[in-house]
Structures are given as structure tokens and as C-alpha cells.
Amino acid sequence: MQLTSNQWMENDGDDAAGGQAVEVRSIEIDGRRVRVGIRAGNAAHGTPLLIFNGIGANLELMEPFTEALAGVETIVFDIPGIGGSDLPALPYRFFGLARLAKRVLTQLGYEQPVDVLGISWGGALAQQFAFQYPARCRKLILAATSAGAIMIPARLSVLSKLLSPRRYRDPDYLLRVGPSLYGGAFRRRPELLQDHARHIAPPRGRSYAYQLLAAWGWTSIFWLRLLRQPTLVMAGSDDPIVPLVNARIMAAVIRRSRLVVIDDGHLFLVTRPLESATAVKRFLAGDAALAVE
């Protein structure tokens, strides 16, 4: 294994929320680099949290949320071809990505079970990881996601924009389509997209197409009720990409689940980080008082 590391300059030392700086490492798996960001936690919060990002999203885009989770150790890695991770020669499926995630944890020294959170596209990968490696996943958090191919879809006008990574490569285009695509705070305050765009590293080459192919035809609907893990299902009330009804279906099917609805859009983890982090921390701590819709 080869490993290099550095800290993000803007997080040199402890952050304002009282947490630790994010350490970015590059590890090598099968001759290819995988870029990982780790924010150290404290003993009081126990189990580390592995986060699977959305389609085309580099690990920096999770920074507002991981910062708000002050005290919880978080691990986020760039999917192959995204951010600083190398692009593989061939496409992959969620099964292979779950196996990659397990190998990343092992190389980093995480031998015990972790908690797992996935947002949007990454929520499908989180479901796959929890099902494929139940002994490695203690609790599961599914944010702004669905059961895959069998879901209540978004409008065609929204889906057509998701087929291309243009929003990651063209800031002006993102400002035009972002409010209607992401909803919530971005619909009410479009200027927030300018700050969001600053942290984007555009997908390279075939990487976005590979992520689309990974999700093509995949569904968890037939085995969701077999998941062993206590599960928190989170959804935005104004999510054009994954309509709220999908979260209600998942929460009804998963046996040990709770549903929390955030008054925001698809990217509520980023636009409402403190509210989202509070719900997640209470769930991870086993707070029975967590509100359930």
C-alpha cells in the first residue's frame, strides 16, 4: 500500500465547530489511487461514519456537513474517476464499489464495523454496502435517495439534466438550472450556488458515465426488508430529484427504520448542515426521542 496525506489549508487546525481538520490521503488499491478525506472524531462519539457522496461529487462538497458533525469521525472517498481518484479502465457496478469501500476501510485500519451514510446516488451504494457486508455496517443513514430503478421518478425535465455532468463543468449553467434541479434553499436563495460551485472538481473523462452505468437497472426493493441495520431515512420536503414519496416507501419497507423530513431540497445535508447533523448524531447515539414522521 502507498499512502500520502495532507490537510486542507482552509482547515488548518481545529475548525470553528470544535472538530478536527480534514486530512486528505491517497492510498493505492490494485495500482490505482483512491483519494480519501478523514476528519478525526473523539472517543465520546465512538463508531466512525463512512460517507458515500452523490453522483459526480468530490469529497470537498461534503465539508459543510462533516464540519457540522463535530466530534464524529468521518471518512469520505472520491469514487474512481471523481476528484482525486484514478479512473478505472472499465465500468463498475455497485457490487464492485462496495467491495472497494471495504478495502479502503481495511487499508486505513478500520477493522471494526462503521456507520454508513449515503446521499442520493451514494445512498444506493450505501444500501449495497450494508446488504453485502452486514458485519461491517452498524447503522445506516439514507439521505435523499431511493431504491434505485424501481422508484417514483423525477420529472423528465429534471432527469434530462442529470444525464450530463455539465452542471459540474459550467458554473453559469449551474446557476441557471440549480434552483429547479436541487430545490429547497437553492430555489429560495440561488446565490448559494456560487459558493457551492467553488468546491466542485468536475468529473473527468468517462467517470460520470461510469457512475450512471453503475446505477443502471440496479434496485434494492426486493431485499430492503432484509437489512439488519437500524436505518435513518432522511428526505427533503422540496426535492425535485428524488420525490419525498420514495423516502416514505423505503421507511415503510425497511423493518428497523425511522424517517426524518428536512424542510429543504435535495442537498439538505449541505444547505441545512446543522439540522441534518443533529438528527444524524441523535440517531447514531440511539436517541429514542428522535422525531419520526
Backbone angles phi, psi at 109, to 5 degrees: 95, 10
Query: Which residue(s) pair with 28 in the sheet?
Result: 33
DSSP string covering 90-138: S---HHHHHHHHHHHHHHTT--S-EEEEEETHHHHHHHHHHHH-GGGEE
Backbone angles phi, psi at 27, to 5 degrees: -115, 160
3-class SS of residue 149 = coil
**Looking at 85, 120, 146, 220, which residue is catalytic?**
120
Edge-first strand listing for the sheet containing 3-7: 3-7, 22-29, 32-39, 74-77, 49-52, 114-119, 137-143, 231-236, 257-262
Is 120 one of the annotated active-site residues of the chain? yes
Q: Are 120 and 182 in contact (CB under 8 A)?
A: no
Query: Integer distance in angstroms from the first to the last C-alpha of the chain?
Result: 45
Give 196-201 contacts, CB < 8 A, sequence gap 24+.
196/61, 196/267, 196/270, 197/171, 199/58, 199/60, 199/61, 199/63, 200/57, 200/58, 200/61, 200/168, 201/58, 201/60, 201/82, 201/83, 201/84
3-class SS of residue 4 = strand
Alpha-helix runs per DSSP H in the chain? 63-68, 94-107, 121-132, 156-162, 166-169, 171-182, 185-188, 192-198, 207-215, 244-253, 268-271, 273-284
Q: Which positions are catalytic?
A: 120
